[in-house]
Each structure stands twice: as structure tokens, then as C-alpha cells.
Amino acid sequence: MFLMVLLTVIVGGVAVAVRFASVKNGDVSFKYYKLMEGENVPEIVTKTTRNFNNQFEIPVLFYIACTLHISFGIENAIAVIFAWLFVSFRFIHSYIHLTYNHILHRMLVFWASFICVVVLWVNLLVQKI
């Protein structure tokens, strides 16, 4: 879970740096960021903002599943393996999204991470039934 938090902090830092650079370069007015509308912005601003927002979507299911595994004292290889896979896929997803942004690659990695979180939830249910 710590690595997911670290990824969120890294992506957030990149997004903030890109926003400051966009204002400094004159690509976007400072006023744009008040409501995030009204101007065409460089692709990098949109990508970093959307990737940062992504860190608060599917990963929330991961955090809850991991917290419940810990709370219930569930320790098994399936949980550990799929938790690590989830985090790995999320790092790869962010890398793809923030660099070359090939939609098929990004989609495949997204769905792989989604399947990992589903496996974590199924494992949780199986262990508690």
C-alpha cells in the first residue's frame, strides 16, 4: 500500500510541476486552474491531471481490500502476489499514460490491474465465508 501512496505522491508532484511550467511558459493562464475550463491546454497538462485523478479511482478498492485482509488477519500467497501485481501494473499504467500513451497498452495494463483487485476481493470473500 505504501508504494501506491508513493505513486500517488510522485504523479501529484509531476502534475503540479507541469501546471507551473504551463503557466510559466505562457501555454495556460493562471486563471484557467481556478475551474479547469475555458482554455485549450497542452496534452501533458491533461495527461498528468487525469493520471493523478486515476490514483483515486480503482486504487481505492485496492486500499480497502488490503486493509480488510490485514484487519481480518488473512495472510496467504494469493493476496500477496495479487497485491504486488496490482501495484506493478499501476506503476506501468502511469508510466505508459505519462509517456508515450499508447491506448491499447494502457488499456491492457489497466484491465490487468483491475483483475488483480477483483482477485483480492474474491480472495477476501472466500477466506471469510
What is the per-residue pLDDT across 23-43, written as a single tens digit (0 to 9) for each? 999 999 988 888 888 888 999
pLDDT in tens, 75-112: 999 999 999 999 999 999 999 999 999 999 999 999 99
> Residue 37: what pLDDT?
83
101: left (phi over 0), alpha (psi -120 to 50) or beta: left
> Residue 5: what pLDDT?
98
- Provide the percentage of residues in the chain whose pLDDT is more than 70: 100
CATH of the domain at 64: 1.20.120.550
The cell for 70 is: 490485514
Structural domains counted in the chain: 1
> Residue 19: what pLDDT?
95
Rounded Cα–Cα distance for residues 82 and 63 (Å): 13
Least confident interval from 31-35, 71-75, 117-121? 31-35
Range of the domain at 95: 2-128
Residue 126 clears pLDDT 90, i.e. is over it: yes
What is the pLDDT confidence band of residue 55, given thresholds at 50, 70 and 90?
very high
The cell for 3 is: 508504494
